[in-house]
Structure 1
Amino acid sequence: MTITNEPVVLLERADIYQGTKPILADVNFHIDKGEFVFLIGRTGSGKSSLLKTLYADLWLQTGSARVAGYELHKIKRSDVPFLRRRIGIVFQDFQLLTDRSVEENLTFVLKATGWKEKADIARRISEVLMQVGLGTSPKKMPHQLSGGEQQRVVIARAMLNEPQILIADEPTGNLDPEVSEQIMQVFKTINTAGTAILMATHNYDLLKNHPARILKCENGVVHES
């Protein structure tokens, strides 16, 4: 595989739709490997629709977009799972399987994405849990974890296949300020190690305390803020 310096995300003249309803017009931006970018904008401004387009939950109808090497304007449905292995997705509501332990939640994802060897699975789970500061919690059930710990599991899950970029949609939306700051530190550590991050947030304290590039959804367009 050739290593290139092409951006991990590149949108050119992209129009973002929710069904037939236009949400954002003529979107042009790129995110480089290892970059940290905030995405802001009021509720209903198109942040989530933009993120969903990037991981092909919404179809790109006009314009072009390339994410982690996949051209979204040409992608086949059968290739979407492979795209998503190169992207980590972190939601605000944790979406953990409540009847399975932390370890079983992560094993489920690895097996679903083609991992076979038990030793490899165990090693990778151990690595990502250490990375998010949960190395001692693999046997715990989700209900035994605090909100912040559950979000750490979600980040660990997103990191399992060593994605080129983490896409996080309001990842601290349900957490109090102190825990939000701890989760932000987890993201910063992951970013410092080389993974690009695009984080949608309403939390202006995060923007103030962690200066980074900002994209803003406003009046149907995306601009640098």
Structure 2
Amino acid sequence: MIEFRDVHKFYDKLHVIRGIDLSITKGEVVVICGPSGSGKSTLIRLVNQLEILSRGDILVDGQSVASLRSRSLRQLRTQIGFVFQQFNLYPHLTAEQNITLALRKVLSITPKDATLRAVELLERVGLADKRQAYPAQLSGGQQQRVAIARTLAMRPKILLFDEPTSALDPEMIGEVLTVMRDLATSGITMLVVTHEMGFARELADLVVFIDQGVILENAKPSDFFLSPQHPRTRQFLRQLLSPLHTAND
């Protein structure tokens, strides 16, 4: 479903992504983790060209993104849902309107059908009673769940999550992870940048560790957490999971 082929990203002379090769099959849940500034978010933003490739290529469902022109790129983006750290909801629109806007403007769905889909998705993320609430009337966790519902409304083939819980208070993280768990078992392809190692351990098919723009570890969760091979991975897990000391040295 997604294939990275010798992917590089430069910002002037700063080499952020350094020759990444990675294949993600349909229906897989892949968690990308690593220290701050390692290139995790940049990598997934390259998938739908929110960041432009410097070198190499990414294939999405067999289609090269490097050669896409604007019209084809817009089509591709309708198939790839992106959930940001900051929820990016329109503050002047209700939860329902935030979901129906793209359905009406991009997919040309009738207002009635768009509303039906919005109601169905708000129910799925546990916010059926917040249809008419504005973002300012919602908690951070609720806003992120609306953002996920908005992303699902386009019926994407792929979901990209860029640290979806990092802007949330600890007590709100669980409600977002509950929705993500439901999605992870639904068969949709997911690429998730996160430090939520419980989610990675429980639901990921593959855990990828990136540092300084390079993949240092790429393994099933059982191997990643119990017997990480790279010293930098072991150091990262010790720091992240301390005092649990889940990873062996």
TM-score normalised by the chain length of structure 1? 0.89
Higher Rg: 2
| Residues 1:34 and 2:32 aligned together | no
Alignment partner, residue 128 of structure 1: 121
| Residues 1:144 and 2:137 aligned together | yes
Q: Which amino acid aligns with 2:218?
A: E
Seq. identity, %: 31
For structure 2, the 5+ residue unaligned runs are: 220-249
Q: How does 1:92-171 map to 2 (within 5 A)?
A: 92-171=85-164
For structure 1, the 5+ residue unaligned runs are: 1-7
Structure holding more helix per residue: 2
Q: Offset of 1:143 from its aligned partner? A: 1.2
Instruction: State the secondary structure of the residue aligned to 2:26.
Output: coil
Q: Say if 1:111 and 1:21 are closer, same or farther in 2 by CA, change over 3 A.
A: farther
Q: Say if 1:64 and 1:87 are closer, same or farther in 2 by CA, change over 3 A.
A: same
Instruction: State the secondary structure of the residue aligned to 1:78.
Output: helix
Q: Find runs of 4+ consecutive structure 1 residues off by over 6 angstroms.
A: none
How many residues get paired?
A: 218
CA-to-aligned-CA distance 1:119-170 (integer Å, 9 cap, x gap): 2212211222122111221111111111111110010011111111110101
| Residues 1:79 and 2:72 aligned together | yes
In structure 1, which of residues 210, 218, 224 is the aligned counterpart of residue 218 of structure 2? 224
Partners of 2:6 and 2:20 within 8 A in 1 = yes
Q: Offset of 1:21 from its aligned partner? A: 3.1
Partners of 2:29 and 2:204 within 8 A in 1 = no
Partners of 2:121 and 2:149 within 8 A in 1 = yes
Q: Say if 1:92 and 1:137 are closer, same or farther in 2 by CA, change over 3 A.
A: same
- Point out which structure has higher relative CO (alpha carbons under 8 A, 6+ apart): 1
Q: Write the distance in 2 (CA, Å) between the matches of 1:68 and 1:132.
A: 27
Alignment partner, residue 48 of structure 2: 55
Instruction: State the secondary structure of the residue aligned to 2:128.
Output: coil
Partners of 2:104 and 2:110 within 8 A in 1 = no
In structure 1, which of residues 22, 32, 37 is the aligned counterpart of residue 15 of structure 2? 22
Partners of 1:23 and 1:46 within 8 A in 2 = yes
Q: Write the distance in 1 (CA, Å) between the matches of 2:94 and 2:134.
A: 4
Q: Offset of 1:19 from its aligned partner? A: 5.1
| Residues 1:189 and 2:170 aligned together | no
Q: Say if 1:23 and 1:61 are closer, same or farther in 2 by CA, change over 3 A.
A: same
CA-to-aligned-CA distance 1:30-70 (integer Å, 9 cap, x gap): 11111111111111110111111111111223222112443
